[in-house]
Amino acid sequence: MLRELGVDFYRFSVSWTRILPTSFPDKINKAGVAYYNNLIEELLKYRITPVVTIFHWDLPQKLQELGGWANPYMVDWYADYARTLFKLFGDRVKYWVTINEPQQICYLGYGKTMFAPAVNIKGIAEYLCARNVLLAHAKAYHIYDKEFRKKQKGLIFISVNCPWYEPLYESQTDAADDANQFDWEQYAHPIFSKTGDFPPATKKRIAARSAEQGFPRSRLPEFTPQEIQLIKGSSDLFGINHYFSQYVYRNKTVYRHYESPSYDDDLSVFFHVLPEWSIGQSNFTKFVPWGFYKLLTYIRKEYANPPVYITENGFSTLGGLNDNDRVFYHTEYLSAMLDAMEEGSDVRAYTAWSLMDNFEWSFGYTSLSSHNVRKFPDGFLFGTATASYQVEGAWNASDIKGVADYMCAKNLLLAHARAYHIYDKEFRPTQKGNIFISFSSQWHEPLTEDGADVEGASNAYQFHLDHYAHPVFSKIGGFPPIMIERIAAKSATQGFPKSRLPEFTPAEIELVRGSSDFFGLNHYTTSYVYRNESTYDYHEAPSYLDDLEILEHYLPEWTIGESDYIKEDYENPPVFITENGLATYGGLDDDDRVSYYRGYLSAMLDAIDEGCDVRAYTAWSLLDNFEWLEGYTQCFGLYEVDYKSPNRMRTARKSAHVYKEIVRTRALDQHYEPDMSKAITIDKGY
């Protein structure tokens, strides 16, 4: 088809998981690489230049489950993916499109349900997405510029969908300007303007609406000065996708018309199209060639006339070979483009969308977008395009071991520390309370005195409790050294360009360190730990368990090791036992639970006698409840709940009577036996 058309270039996109089936560069799919190598070689064989889009909407499911483009870690993940493509194909690919249509990705996919992933967290998610997409694009640009351009001698740019918004009346120029700035200039201004950053109108309007809505800061996230400089100028060409133009107006009826908060409410304009503009099958495309001319003219004047590649332009029909409407459309749009070029616009290439009918995002296969005479300048290029997800398909991936858990840990610790400092600075002086974090941990004991087992038990504790406690309670802060060392080494052997354990900045280390008034501890069990040759490659890789490389046997008995460890390693902080308990399958005579509580309370008293500053103990739980993995099949309650009873009758178990006596007497009597024939009562004064 391409040879029949006689085009100069072919724009296609690479499917992320076709190259990186795990979403990360630890594994490269040779079959996927071979597919694209064959495609590139075949194009070059017939002197057709490949133009490769690195990302055209088909995000791996694994990364979407981690928040997708709303997650700031996407910047690094995308950069790793881009670097992989540069290494694999950059010797032959000389034109790279970093990201296709970022506004549609963010606005329609994160602020609405129109397109995948349909996050629909209006007024927040689309702006987070925008910031991260721009940073990811810029990072890929600078990777290519610094590591590959000198040898590969290619060009790299972003492709932005750019409609044109025209004021309905002369008095509505502000509304039209705002519409352009909110839409495509939200992505073009940070890259192509002299000042960088989001457009001024966008920043001003969102900040004002956020303040009115009670937000403590603008919902549009800020770029740091360094990020502004990173993004500014990060495109060799201005890639434009163009399909429609609209009239815009704003009056009193628009205020509070849209759901709030939302992008639409922040912008607060109405759109209007003339009936005669309709062409083709899709409501998305409109026949307004003068809008295309005005867009190109505006870019020439506003952004210092950058070199422009039209990376998509076209419209859809219901099918058929005699597509006279499409012929007329392309003729008039190319004519408008030539008018702009004759006035000085530096347009260097035009791409008709698309080579063949494909799966259009929200119209499936029902909407089909698939060429008397004016001379084009010498050297001008023509091409056509498709996208991997729409034509070729992409692989789904699941499971995010060894990445998501570590990213979650960092974010939880930062969130905890932020809340701690808010309370400490804004509320503690008047409310005079305490605030702390509660860790769930078991004690890890080496199975033998063998050095590998001893080291394994120590590593287990650092991976488990210390993963969260060390950043808060240690003198130096940050993740435990053993974790940092082991995960970095494992990541390197698995082909990751950096450790899967995200780093804290020095400022974040200081923010987290010391951010707890007490050491909250949930404890339920103890395990013996061993490490030998059988544990290597035993667990799925990459994963937390593979990084740790141990196996465990769980013990029924109680120990005091944990309290001693906290005392010695963390300078004996005040400890609150926030959970401790035993599950049974029901029944009122729960002697196992009574023995469990007595044993653990005895061990706790031993630790206190040795100097551990344990200040509180919490029995888990007051009554039977829905346990996370076991539902209602396991019962932790001091009180039994009859789930068949309409009023959910609660009855005190033996453990409730024993625990009441411990609380009443503030003493642990191993031989106390309650009279179960008597109902438990409320003591005087309670």
- Is the distance from CB of 356 to CB of 386 less than 8 angstroms? yes
Per residue, what are the HEC states of 191-251? HHCCCCCCCHHHHHHHHHHHHHCCCCCCCCCCCCHHHHHHHCCCCCCEEEEECCEEEEECC
Of 337, 285, 342, nearest to 309 (Cα)?
337
* Catalytic position from the list 185, 312, 360, 640: 312
pLDDT value for 106: 98
Q: Could you state, in chain order, the average pLDDT of each consecutive group of 10 residues for the chain (686 residues)?
A: 79 94 96 97 95 93 96 98 98 97 96 91 98 99 98 98 96 97 98 98 98 98 98 98 93 92 97 77 71 98 97 67 72 92 94 51 40 54 46 40 91 98 97 95 88 91 95 97 96 94 97 97 88 81 86 61 81 92 89 90 88 90 77 84 89 93 88 91 80
Residue 630 designated active-site? no
Tokens coding 626 = 């829905």
Of 234, 207, 203, nearest to 96 (Cα)?
234
Q: What residue has token string 């959970």? A: 579
Residue 508 designated active-site? no
Residue 594 CA to residue 587 CA, distance in Å, equals: 13
Give the strand pairing for 49-55 and 164-167.
Answer: unpaired
pLDDT value for 61: 95
Q: What is the CATH number of domain 2-391?
A: 3.20.20.80
Tokens coding 401 = 């071991």
pLDDT value for 320: 58
Residue 209 CA to residue 218 CA, distance in Å, equals: 8
Tokens coding 346 = 């530096």
Instruction: With residue 40 as reference, give the H or E element that holds it.
Output: helix 30-45
Tokens coding 331 = 């003729």
CATH 3.20.20.80 spans which residues of the chain?
2-391, 401-572
Encode pLDDT of 559-599 as tens digits. 555 677 899 899 999 999 988 888 888 899 999 999 988 88
* Catalytic position from the list 222, 455, 579, 627: 579
Sheet with 245-249: list strands edge to edge: 164-167, 245-249, 270-272
Q: Is residue 476 left, alpha or beta, with left meaning phi > 0 and alpha meaning psi from -120 to 50?
A: alpha
Helix 591-609 to helix 561-569 angle (10° resolution) is 30
CATH class of 401-572: alpha beta
Residue 652 CA to residue 637 CA, distance in Å, equals: 9
